[in-house]
Structure 1
């Protein structure tokens, strides 16, 4: 096997790792990097007999790689080469190469930050950007920098952009290796809009079988699609010499091996697989790839903070990896169920999980490392700040970290469980309640695929039904039932996973804790997803998110539920798994989360302040009672809110207070820097400053009517000097020559108006001025019938000219009234005629009396 391309670069790789502490190896598919590099480094002097740890993103690939390397050495797995994956390991005292997955490397680093017995960490298939891989690399770089300068780090990939990784590794050398790839022809088979992916895949697979030789590897996004395509194929006239195999993570080792290895009887094979088959696996005899172009990934909703599985289009890198599966051992063909144009529009690489997934586990790991801010670590892509903040807030609610984000003793207990912090918290809380086994079973049900299939799953979203069925199947140990709505393999995996979690938590009891406990235990795991019924199967979650059941079912009538699995797409999230919980259980087991809130608010219907005492669980109102004696200050603030909502018209404005505001606004326009603005907007913006003290003891609109607004504004907005200046420069009235006191209209602060009968102005030569002589009054000169005959701000000019035209008209209409030829020599009058002889008016003053 020394003809593999990787052997051409192994000398260079060894040289670089001898000289440098880090390196990046970019090896195309088929080069042989996964199984040859660890073996080649085993006897390097710098390793000094220490271990090689290789992180493999997928469990199946980890087992397969370990098995192949052990075979190359003529040994069994667990001797020189072993593996460790979650809940399964083959490691011995002589093991030097360990292939590990998921959080196993993180556990090793947390247990021994120095990694004293490890010489090199290899991150294989790093282009998959698994969140555990990114975290493991960040922690490994920290360990290398602070504790182990001699620790080697090697990042390997087939499609990764090498330069950013090399830069992260302090300008590590990059080694490139071509692959051993046979020619693969690509055929694009674009599908009509809204067509069935499963039917199209089955038809294309059937066509490929007829036109080409060899086995078929078909890529589908998930288990549901695999099953549907399998059913479609079984209804087609496929040769009896062809067998259909499935390949995905939840299958047993025996089933996975059956998909990977050649058929014993030599039959052709169709392998329906998820993205698990993209990398690190060679499935014998594959010459045909049929790619749906889809994959399924966990996506965190920024809106709700909940994760949900989403089917997404793959990337160009992923499509190339899948296409390459057809050319691993000989030339092949690849069918893509999309067009050339769609191919060009695909993104270059998949979005790293760290940018799109739930970061709760990562946040707990970082806290356990002794860091609260992820910026303190070196990342290829730094975790999303929003998602990280949400994760820390959840950890605080679960008591895993303190208010400063530092891990607690209880948080370390959760971390040691090796499961998601939500599940770990649930199990640990269940133990003193003697519900430990039930909690382990629920955790297993939530981590494995749903044991109900098809309509049965959507018609019954109650997790209790799954619990009851699993208990029954476990107790009966019956052979598989002929029921297409039950996934017997999933049940067996749930039972096995339950036992694994039991062992981890040292729980021995396996009794049935009873129906009522399911919701209680779920509420420990999902305190943010406790829901209150809004009718018709719709619920409001304590987080504020709305969710609903797709079909009417017993759970629809529950007053309270706990949502475990939610499809968060759409306006209302779709409930997929939940449990009912009683109100009494909420008060008993969520007591710390229930908050008493006094709601003192303005009620528009009552036109007054309403005081209620509420008991809230997040955004859920559990109960409400009248609040008899709320603090006066709170009532006053609520009353202010009412004024803001209703507007200033809620206050008792009269002619005097309206004019007072207008006068103030006139002064503000005159000297903006010295005088307050009193427009509606300005008064509402400063409402608390000038109104609060005056409304203590008031509760409603009727009480507000007692306010003397002129006094309120004057006392709270003006100084004593300003009050005096206001009287001088913005008087309320004008004393006209006839002796009348005429109000000044300030509705237009730029042009104050006095409306006065023309006859009352005889003898006044010039236009009166206010504002310290800066602003002339606009005079509306009226006829005896109070109709304007002239508008002027230049009275002198009016007397000299326009008066004589006006006089002719008025004299004709009002002959009994006095219309002198010399208005400046005449005496002003309020009567029809003057009572005395005409006398010249002396000095004229605008005067003011104070109004209250």
Structure 2
């Protein structure tokens, strides 16, 4: 280690903190030399046991191992080795082992004591990958319960160290302030237009700065598509001697090394995804161009689907990217946003644990046997519950959430639990499909048919554009996955896909458009021109993730018989009573269902009345109560009496299941409901004591002098009765409801109001004479006595001729 790096000034502090506390959080800016110096410092200081260092990406693992071995004057495989999925270089004398983050999880799950390991280093922890968060939580618990001597180092360039140190029980924080070389940061003078095409803007920007700068240029773009677009836009425009080198995860390793290695002559322009943000020194780079975008996977627990979204980078990511320009010499970072826009960027990118599919995490927690782990950011409960529900469907968890024997097998397979379940059930024949589903789509312009991708893997001709390097990687991964697996029963492509995606079996809806209902309950659609658009059933393996109605990007055809063969235990007949909103009636069926899909339906003629009544409640909620006149009068009475139940329509509908079902015999449709008399059901809401209070405080009827009961209307500003004037003859006291006089509407024999009064004795004594004089001429056959208080009440007319 002859060349000095900024981190060298604090290596002694790191060693002292570990000796004194067994744990340390190291903050150092990009380019300080954390990755290449800290493991060697611990080795030189004589720390016992193997030193494990985690890196977030495969390329970073190889690069870090090679750099460490080079400083020791050795080849990789001596005292420095590496291990990642499907590849390793570890010799018998290995003291420093660089691994991808998932490898550590498997090591801890296999041997919680981590026997032979003395120190674990979490490099680039600021990326907050799911595996890094889980690995730290597992190692921290193992240290507390089994290995108090195990040393922990958490290293980060941009992460706020205080929360990490607090989680690690007050771990010391060591900070390296130095940077390898200064970096000048420049911004755009004006923001890019909202609809500007990113690739063209980046290419134009490069054409401006390349002639003004020297040394290699590293351009950060969100994904492979943008890299290819910028590469195409630069063709024929760059000065002689400029070599364009793409860099992204799906590239073959040789092409990745070519992007990192220095050019022999001229300049190189590296077009990279976020893979170049951390733990890599790309030779000769003096200039960074940051497009300001990052592509992240976002998981929607409601749909069970993840989608890649392109977002603004955080300030921490932008700083990390800018630091790449100062690794080997003073440099310049060009940010494709304005200084004003910079202040609006989020401070940090969201940790993967809050936005990722948590199925693998849920399986690891079940395998560990405890959820009570110290996570820097706890996993969201909703997403975790969805993940556990899927694991139950796959048979990996039992009904109590404990891991099953099948679940333990899945945890050992180096794929997503969905694909692990498929491999465990279908065997080696499913390995090509598993490799294909984990990789980027190797075909362009091939429609959604998954069978075309499988055919391309076999070398069959296709009209689509094949991405040969990606296809080669998929084939190699398929061979690795198939090792040690039995061949398994002969299954179709759709059957194998259905094993992995039991929640995404799709049944076409009625109608001309190719719209589908998924077995998990969500909707999906195909482009009408897609060759699969006419298929009745599919298994959807990839969508755009739209939570409302996802667009299907990849799917396999499956027949009903094939589905029954692989999911017979999940297909069952159900008795269904439901309210049909379109037909406005209760439908009773016996349905054969797979999840949300109805595979077959038959009439259920003898459905029990209580089930029909419960289904009708949904109709009542849709239609409203629709009380008749008598029911309206009853509700008005109840509203006047304090202390009685709330019987406004909203409150009644909220509790309709408690009081209405016993009264719904024979009611099955909107027409039936329109004829239904609600009064008895409403009276049933009140108990006996409440009815007595109601009848005392707001009686429902007034008894006339003839003995006839007339309903009292409480819907106005005063209680009211309406009757013919002759029926009140002989009434000398005004009718009352408690202390409130009734409003009495007196009618003529022709049922026309002649007087409204709240003082019957006063009316008899005053206005009655005028009414009598007017009415006698109009209705001579009806009695009009001079003194109505002494007359008998009547509803009869005089006989003709009298």
For the criterion TM > 0.5, the same-fold answer is yes
Match of 1:310 in 2: 309
1:765 and 2:732 are equivalent in the alignment: yes
How far residue 230 of structure 1 moved from its aligned partner, in angstroms, is: 1.2
Please tell me whether the aligned partners of residues 315 and 346 of structure 2 are also in contact (alpha carbons under 8 angstroms). yes
1:462 and 2:431 are equivalent in the alignment: no
Match of 1:333 in 2: 332
Out of 537, 543, 548, the position equivalent to 2:520 is 543
Match of 1:845 in 2: none
How far residue 744 of structure 1 moved from its aligned partner, in angstroms, is: 3.8
Out of 485, 488, 496, the position equivalent to 1:507 is 485
Further displaced range: 166-175 or 689-698: 689-698
Q: 1:541 to 1:709 in 2, by over 3 A?
A: closer
In the alignment, the residues of structure 1 paired with residue 420 and residue 554 of structure 2 have an alpha-carbon distance, to the nearest angstrom, of: 19
Out of 760, 780, 792, the position equivalent to 2:745 is 780
Out of 379, 393, 400, the position equivalent to 1:383 is 379
Match of 1:247 in 2: 247
Match of 2:26 in 1: 25
Further displaced range: 640-649 or 103-112: 640-649
Structure 1 residues 470-504: Cα deviation after superposition (integer angstroms, max 9, x where no partner): 1127xx9xxxx9x992111111101111111122x
Secondary structure of the residue aligned to 2:377 is: coil
In the alignment, the residues of structure 2 paired with residue 234 and residue 101 of structure 1 have an alpha-carbon distance, to the nearest angstrom, of: 36
Out of 421, 425, 433, the position equivalent to 2:421 is 425
Match of 2:410 in 1: 414
Please tell me whether the aligned partners of residues 722 and 747 of structure 2 are also in contact (alpha carbons under 8 angstroms). yes
Alignment of 1:373-772 (within 5 A): 373=371, 376-431=372-427, 436-437=428-429, 439-453=430-444, 456=445, 459-472=446-459, 485-503=465-483, 506-507=484-485, 517-534=492-509, 535-550=512-527, 552-569=529-546, 571-602=548-579, 609-639=586-616, 641-643=618-620, 645-648=622-625, 659=630, 661=631, 664-665=634-635, 668=638, 672-673=642-643, 692-693=661-662, 696=665, 719=688, 730=699, 732=701, 734-736=703-705, 739=706, 741=708, 743-746=710-713, 748=715, 751-769=718-736
In the alignment, the residues of structure 2 paired with residue 278 and residue 709 of structure 1 have an alpha-carbon distance, to the nearest angstrom, of: 70
Secondary structure of the residue aligned to 1:592 is: helix
Match of 1:321 in 2: 320
Secondary structure of the residue aligned to 2:178 is: coil
How far residue 642 of structure 1 moved from its aligned partner, in angstroms, is: 4.6
Please tell me whether the aligned partners of residues 641 and 698 of structure 2 are also in contact (alpha carbons under 8 angstroms). no
Paired residue total? 795
Match of 2:223 in 1: 222
Please tell me whether the aligned partners of residues 519 and 579 of structure 1 are also in contact (alpha carbons under 8 angstroms). yes
Q: 1:629 to 1:41 in 2, by over 3 A?
A: same
Structure 1 residues 482-541: Cα deviation after superposition (integer angstroms, max 9, x where no partner): x992111111101111111122xx0376x9x98x71111011111111111234333221
Q: 1:29 to 1:664 in 2, by over 3 A?
A: closer
Q: 1:598 to 1:749 in 2, by over 3 A?
A: farther
In the alignment, the residues of structure 2 paired with residue 90 and residue 362 of structure 1 have an alpha-carbon distance, to the nearest angstrom, of: 27
Q: 1:52 to 1:542 in 2, by over 3 A?
A: same
Q: 1:781 to 1:121 in 2, by over 3 A?
A: same
Q: 1:624 to 1:188 in 2, by over 3 A?
A: same
Please tell me whether the aligned partners of residues 704 and 728 of structure 2 are also in contact (alpha carbons under 8 angstroms). no
1:142 and 2:154 are equivalent in the alignment: no
Please tell me whether the aligned partners of residues 439 and 474 of structure 2 are also in contact (alpha carbons under 8 angstroms). yes
How far residue 206 of structure 1 moved from its aligned partner, in angstroms, is: 2.4
Secondary structure of the residue aligned to 1:624 is: strand
Match of 2:759 in 1: 794
Q: Once superposed, what is the RMSD of the aligned Cα atoms?
A: 3.3
In the alignment, the residues of structure 2 paired with residue 9 and residue 724 of structure 1 have an alpha-carbon distance, to the nearest angstrom, of: 84
Secondary structure of the residue aligned to 2:498 is: helix
Please tell me whether the aligned partners of residues 82 and 88 of structure 2 are also in contact (alpha carbons under 8 angstroms). yes
Secondary structure of the residue aligned to 1:418 is: coil
Computing the radius of gyration from Cα coordinates, the structure with the larger value is: 1
In the alignment, the residues of structure 1 paired with residue 256 and residue 672 of structure 2 have an alpha-carbon distance, to the nearest angstrom, of: 79
Structure 1 residues 589-647: Cα deviation after superposition (integer angstroms, max 9, x where no partner): 12122232222235578776432111122222211111232234323434555555445
Please tell me whether the aligned partners of residues 67 and 77 of structure 1 are also in contact (alpha carbons under 8 angstroms). yes
In the alignment, the residues of structure 2 paired with residue 388 and residue 542 of structure 1 have an alpha-carbon distance, to the nearest angstrom, of: 20
Structure 1 residues 294-314: Cα deviation after superposition (integer angstroms, max 9, x where no partner): 121211024312111112111
Please tell me whether the aligned partners of residues 690 and 717 of structure 1 are also in contact (alpha carbons under 8 angstroms). no
How far residue 342 of structure 1 moved from its aligned partner, in angstroms, is: 1.7
How far residue 187 of structure 1 moved from its aligned partner, in angstroms, is: 2.8
For structure 1, which runs of at least 5 residues remain unmatched after alignment?
A: 836-852
